Structure 1
Amino acid sequence: MTIFAVLLGAQLIRSRHMTEQREQGDGRMRAWVVRAGEYGQRETVALENGMLLAGWLGLGDLAEARTRDDIRALVAAAYPDEGAYTIGNWTGQLFRFVHEIQPGDLIVLPLKSLQVAVGRVTGSYEHRADSPDGMRHVRRAEWLVTDIDRQTIQSDLLDSMGSLLTVFELSRFGAAERVAALAEGKPDPGRPDADEFAATLTGPTKLFEEVHRRDEDDPLTLSVRDFLAVWGVQRRHPAATEYIKDELEERGLITVPPFTEGTLDSRITVLAGGAEPDESGTSAVSRLSLGTLTSVAGPAVTHIIKRAAELLRPAEEPEQPNVAYRVSNLDSANRMPESVRIGDGVETAMTLMLLHGYSQLPVLDPDGRLRGIVSWESIGRARLADPAAGLQAATVRGQEADGSDDLLDWIGVIEQSGHVVVRDHDHKVCGLITAADLTVQFGTRVRPFVLVEEIEQRLRRVVDRRIPLDRIRKVVRERPERVHSAADLTFGAYGHLLRARENWAALEWRVDQQHFLTALEECRVLRNDLMHFSPDPVTDDQLLPVQGLLELLRSMDPQS
């Protein structure tokens, strides 16, 4: 059988399976987010007319585009100056909008009012050529509730809604069932696997007491997010992590792995590492490292013991900084990728890559360790040399990073090869980072800076136009003569400047001064927060006040 026959067969199987799902339904509740534009510019039309609206100015009718390739061709023709990544990303979103979203699915629309609307899809894709450009790609929907307070939605679901994409599925943490509860006017019930016990750890003392209360073979395990919440912290800033580390050290505790590794949803275990020696004269650390507990511990605890022994072994090198941008800080580094095993056929690899739209797959040994990479390129090269070449011939050497490595050291490799496989501390594969993952990750990180920068630029221009220089200089305590324009002010100085009645009056803005100054202060706090490194991204929910302030400035001074 030729490679082309295999590819065609796999594509036919996939198309038939998707058709059967559309005709019969798979019985699984699904929930999606379809945004109404980056700044909610389509939300009024969507809500008032009972519809979902995808943007994409200048893109024609997609009704006859049956496959991803059909949509990709139309997108590429409409946007000839865009690169392959952007075309592929937009193709995926539009394919979801046209084909994957089904009547009966739940839909979520985050609103400019800081509320959330939830509805149900009622119609198939339509193209309305006589509508304004940007509002021609339509799905009918019934809006069930349009004023859900974000405070009734738990942070993990809000974070999931914070993607920069316009069309995406909410698939993690039981999202569909939780959205269904919101549609019925109920509060978010929380993730099905939520750690209710972690919610009882209302302060450091509670956590310390719980760790010391437990037996060594039943350690306290919780997410990094819940661990930080014990100290009232949402992100891992250097100051916060130093403070928490000092508190742990004073209590003789360690976390395994360190709470500075992984994502906010990664699990860590808190251990009493500084307890006094027992009757045998050995510490808990030594007992852990000697493995004396492994006979009574399950597999999960045994892994914790091994990791603790690594962490507590005398260091041969200087300790690394508490907070750094590690490979493990990316979600994809902690998500087991699709893979093939030694002994599988090359057809298995090709089928998996077709089904999931992947360009490569890790090849693993029976213990889950990396033995190489198989890709479309490596299969093509192997089949050129031997039309009957199998998986072994098509497997090439793969790049492998440890989760604790500095991510910046791997960016060049990912850029060149398109990916890097991630291994855990047992050298087993636990994730795969692609160039697309980096693009999304750093795009998310750049966005807050772009928003704050535009706010600052708009403030500078309006202040320079409306307020005399001598009054601008009055808010500067040291060497005001060095201030030549608003560009020489710190961000915090704008609050002091606009608090003065005569300066506020000079702007001629018909908005409430106190509310504006409050929003400006929230933006200042976030700006200062951004200046302190943290491996955790700013969530969409945390950005809402900044987006609101920017929209207000744009509406009051649209020409600036």
Structure 2
Amino acid sequence: MTDSAAGPAETQSRARYLLDGRRLTIADLLGSGLLKEGARLRFVRPRVGESHEAVVTPRGWIQLSDGEEFRSPSKAAMVAVGNGTFDGWEAWQVDDGRYLTQLRQELLDRAAEEANPTAPEIEHQQTSVSPSERHARLKEARDSAETGHPLSLSVQELLAWWGATGRGAVNDQIQAELANHSLVTSPEFDKVSLTATVRLVKAAEEQTEDLSLVGSPVTAAVPAGVSEELDSRETGLTVGTLPSALAGIVSVKPTATFEEVITLMLLHDFSQLPVLAGPHNLRGSVSWKSIARARHADPGAHLSQAIVDARDVRYDHDLIEVLATLVEHDFVLVRDQHNAIAGIVTAADVAQAYGELAGHFLLIGEMDRRLRQVIAGAFTLPEVTGLCDPEGERIASFGDMTVGDYQRVLENPGLWVQLGWPLDRKVFIARLEEIRRIRNNVMHFNSSDPLPKTDVDKIRHLNKLLREYGE
């Protein structure tokens, strides 16, 4: 069906498909008629005096002059050059001089014009921001980034564009829509706390002229935000997701006096202070213990004699890998995306983060157990398997049931009547569906964020109801 023959509903559906949570491909440009099979592409690098040629294949891949084919323009550009990191959409030009990114933008603009601004958002979204409005915001952010004035906003504000209050299920959609506008966040939005500030900057066209790749260029990794073929990422706890990690640092210079250090430690109730010769130059740290040892060994000691080694990690480092260091040293200093020392994480910070996570597991575990007890007490196993596992391949006992199974049983009108609860079935099932999604994010570690209080309260209140009606 041609564009002119498509009905309004189909046109809006196609527009939503292009705008909602997927990375556009060369095949999309072919399908829209903006690019033709066999179109010649050129990647010119005037600074080094070289040019690379390619053609678009019938399936929407890029074929280099040596015959190799790549779905990703970025990978094609990287392999053509042999080193470096590129945004392929910004690199390859068609015969009329336009870049692939311009064709992609034209396709997105078409979709935004066709999209129905009043169409309901996808199930996890709770905001009035439509896909077309979000498209406009991303275009403005791209323009700002190109002029050297990137938009800054908190992670919470960024998530609100997608109607989310926490990360997890929405991460892939955000990554895809940012990539469609050649944008990334700095630092990475899913590696820092919700209150951290990020900037929307252009994906790197080329990180460095002399960046060499280890191994074959075909298998070398492309940084996040550059390749449009990145696998879905499940985000766990990173160092940067702790609020203190990038919250700033109180430090002293190597030339500081004991009096200056002691005063700062007393005023801030610190046990240690980092010693920095500059934002990127970590010399070590001083603590009450190191000061006492230095002065015990030499009453006339200078601060340099109290400086001890300090450990530092990047903000995007997996938190679990830092635990051993925290056990030994009590704290680690955190470097931001520019490699500057930007914060500190202590053993107490980590204990609090994992304590919150453990609390969520306990609440969900209670809910799971009580729902299973309600169903096991009210229904027979054949009644349950008839709805949830008619082939008899999965559920051999009530303990094999999932939350989805509980939901299928309780939303059945006949079984609900048999349960005998004087409650509204539809309202109860709607809340159970909400909690199922919350549970999946927590149990599958799809989000590095603490549960919002509203989500915790939903689980607590359900558990209370189950205690009252399920006994």
Q: TM-score, normalised by structure 1?
A: 0.52
Deviations 1:157-194 (A, max 9, x none): xxxxxxxxxxxxxxxxxxxxxxxxxxxxxxxxxxxxxx
Does structure 2 retain, via aligned residues, the 8 Å contact 1:211–1:272?
no
Aligned to 1:369: 281
Deviations 1:84-132 (A, max 9, x none): xxxxxxxxxxxxxxxxxxxxxxxxxxxxxxxxxxxxxxxxxxxxxxxxx
Count of residues paired in the alignment:
327
1:354 equivalent to 2:266? Answer: yes
* In structure 2, distance between residues paired with 1:484 and 1:311: 61
2:185 pairs, out of 252, 255, 265, with 255
1:550 equivalent to 2:463? Answer: yes
1:495 pairs, out of 402, 407, 421, with 407
Output the amino acid matched with 1:495.
Answer: Q
* In structure 2, distance between residues paired with 1:427 and 1:473: 56
2:151 pairs, out of 220, 231, 242, with 220
Output the amino acid matched with 1:522.
Answer: E
2:327 pairs, out of 409, 415, 426, with 415
1:113-512 equivalence runs, <5 A? 203-214=133-144, 216-237=147-168, 240-273=170-203, 285=205, 309=207, 318-319=221-222, 323=235, 325-367=237-279, 369-480=281-392, 483-501=395-413, 503-512=415-424
Deviating more after overlay: 525-534 vs 312-321: 312-321
Query: In 2 relative to 1, CA 396–243 (structure 1 residues): closer, same or farther, beyond 3 Å?
Result: same
* In structure 2, distance between residues paired with 1:352 and 1:505: 67
* In structure 2, distance between residues paired with 1:312 and 1:451: 52
Q: CA deviation at 1:434?
A: 0.4
Deviations 1:478-508 (A, max 9, x none): 4337634321212111122123455334544
Does structure 2 retain, via aligned residues, the 8 Å contact 1:342–1:366?
no
Query: In 2 relative to 1, CA 313–203 (structure 1 residues): closer, same or farther, beyond 3 Å?
Result: farther
Deviations 1:11-33 (A, max 9, x none): xxxxxxxxxxxxxxxxxxxxxxx
Output the amino acid matched with 1:446.
Answer: A
* In structure 2, distance between residues paired with 1:543 and 1:312: 50
Query: In 2 relative to 1, CA 201–372 (structure 1 residues): closer, same or farther, beyond 3 Å?
Result: farther
Query: In 2 relative to 1, CA 229–476 (structure 1 residues): closer, same or farther, beyond 3 Å?
Result: same
Structure 1, gaps ≥5 residues long:
1-198, 275-284, 287-308
Structure 2, gaps ≥5 residues long:
1-128, 215-219, 225-232
Output the amino acid matched with 1:211.
Answer: A
* In structure 1, distance between residues paired with 2:171 and 2:209: 17
Does structure 1 retain, via aligned residues, the 8 Å contact 2:186–2:337?
no
Q: CA deviation at 1:421?
A: 0.8
* In structure 1, distance between residues paired with 2:130 and 2:298: 62
- 3-state SS of the aligned residue for 1:536? coil
Q: CA deviation at 1:557?
A: 4.0
Q: CA deviation at 1:440?
A: 0.9
Identity %: 31
Q: Report 1 or 2 for greater relative contact order, CA contacts < 8 Å, sequence distance ≥ 6.
A: 2
Query: In 2 relative to 1, CA 434–367 (structure 1 residues): closer, same or farther, beyond 3 Å?
Result: closer
Q: CA deviation at 1:212?
A: 4.7
- 3-state SS of the aligned residue for 2:200? strand
Output the amino acid matched with 2:179.
Answer: E
- 3-state SS of the aligned residue for 1:432? strand
Output the amino acid matched with 2:435.
Answer: C
Does structure 2 retain, via aligned residues, the 8 Å contact 1:203–1:230?
no
- 3-state SS of the aligned residue for 2:163? coil
Q: CA deviation at 1:435?
A: 0.5
Does structure 2 retain, via aligned residues, the 8 Å contact 1:472–1:497?
yes
RMSD: 3.1
Output the amino acid matched with 2:140.
Answer: E
Q: TM-score, normalised by structure 2?
A: 0.62
Q: CA deviation at 1:528?
A: 2.1
- 3-state SS of the aligned residue for 2:275? strand
